[in-house]
Chains A and B, each alone.
Chain A
């Protein structure tokens, strides 16, 4: 069901920017790109989402290519607490609750001291 492709794992040095790529070449015009993360033994946590413009919030930045076929999540200054599995998900705007979040295998990011 997952319509995205992510590398299985990445490492990042503490204090450096973590850039997590995602391919979603079959994305439809009404589908948003969402990013979630799951820290060990916790529930998934929403990070950010976007449709076609780049987005930034207090947690991260989301860069979406002009053709919308790929995106990059940027954690500007990674900390040890950012070690987690990061999920990139495409999902349409949903009025009924029928179009749910389908999680793929994600990218396991390890922040190294």
Chain B
């Protein structure tokens, strides 16, 4: 069973569209995250979500919004997509207390054309 699963794996869409990426974890973890990896391979934290507390990286545009229907899911909604949003997006989860490792999903490659 996949511990952290993301769908879709690939997403190609036009500028201006609205899209969502789904993430689910079956590890019973309390905190979930979204990371963005750009073309230069830098991994940057976008959001963390823990017990309904959302912590946002201040550099993330407000076109990006995480939605968590329950502890096992953290979906990423992106409005008005721009060319610069093209990247690989990784979901991750961790147990509260945080000293143990994060588990990452396999990523969603988003291409905006």
Question: Which A residues are closer than 8 A to B by beta carbons?
Answer: 32, 34, 36, 38, 41-47, 49, 85, 87, 91, 93-103, 105
Q: Is B60 an interface residue (CB 8 A)?
A: no
Q: A97-B96, A98-B55 are in contact. Are A46 and B49 (CB under 8 A)?
A: no
Q: Is the CB of A95 within 8 A of B101?
A: no
Main secondary structure of the interface of A (DSSP, over half): loop
29 contacts between A and B (CB under 8 A): A42-B107, A43-B4, A43-B105, A43-B107, A44-B90, A44-B92, A44-B102, A44-B104, A49-B99, A49-B100, A49-B101, A93-B97, A94-B97, A95-B97, A96-B53, A97-B31, A97-B53, A97-B94, A97-B96, A97-B98, A99-B98, A100-B48, A100-B55, A101-B102, A102-B45, A103-B35, A103-B42, A103-B43, A103-B44
Chain B interface category by residue count: 20 to 34
Q: Is the CB of B43 within 8 A of A95?
A: no
Q: Is the CB of A91 within 8 A of B98?
A: yes
Q: Is the CB of B101 within 8 A of A105?
A: no
Q: Is the CB of A93 within 8 A of B42?
A: no
Q: How far is the CA of A21 from the CA of B9 in the complex (A)?
A: 33
Q: Is the CB of A97 within 8 A of B55?
A: yes
Q: A44-B43, A49-B99, A91-B98 are in contact. Are A97 and B104 (CB under 8 A)?
A: no
